[in-house]
Amino acid sequence: MHDIYIDAMKENLVEAAQLLFGSAERPSRIYRVDADEELARHSTSVFANVDWMEIGCKECNFDIESVLYLSFSAFRYFLPGIFIYTLNSGDYESDAFESIIAELSRSSEVEFWEESFTERWKAFSPKQIQWMSDCIIHMAIEGGMPPKFQSDANIALRTLEILKRG
């Protein structure tokens, strides 16, 4: 019975992602222009020919810097796919997921947020942010997230709550 509940919750989260993010347009530029262009282009090249719903192991484990070099619009476009991949695979140590959790867990104190962090995350709607929180909670409680990620996940949840409140 427990496995049926976990699978149903995953399905609900995937369906919610399609509703919340499904109308997002693919960005014209995938990498950040304020970074070393050659490095940024290489790090994000794995995302060049995939839709956000097609994100898999290859994209999530290509380069530890990939998520950091995504343009703000590409980050917002691909993030739900990274979460869905992680939900389905349990690959909590993927470069992409670790990068997102590390970014969210740096500080839940607004005065320490860099402008780029704020710009990157404030573009998500409160419902999209709640969806991210729901995914992290599901992964932490039901999805078998290793204990070493639990404290970072808790800080990330606090940060998301602040972002949701605007």
Annotate 63-111 with DSSP letters as a single string.
Answer: -TTHHHHB-HHHHHHHHHHHHHHHHHH--TT-HHHHHHHHHHHS-S-GG
- What is d(CA 70, CA 46) in angstroms, rounded to the nearest whole number? 11
Taking residues 139-164, report their average pLDDT: 88
Please, which pLDDT band fits residue 54 given cuts at 50, 70 and 90?
A: very high
Query: Given a cut of 80, is residue 48 above it in pLDDT?
Result: yes
The pLDDT of residue 100 is 96
Give the least confident one: 51-65, 108-122, 123-137: 108-122
Please, which pLDDT band fits residue 41 given cuts at 50, 70 and 90?
A: very high
What's the mean per-residue pLDDT of the chain? 91
**Residues spanned by the domain of 64:** 2-165
Query: Given a cut of 70, is residue 138 above it in pLDDT?
Result: yes
Instruction: Count the domains in the chain.
Output: 1
The pLDDT of residue 112 is 87
Query: Given a cut of 70, is residue 2 above it in pLDDT?
Result: no
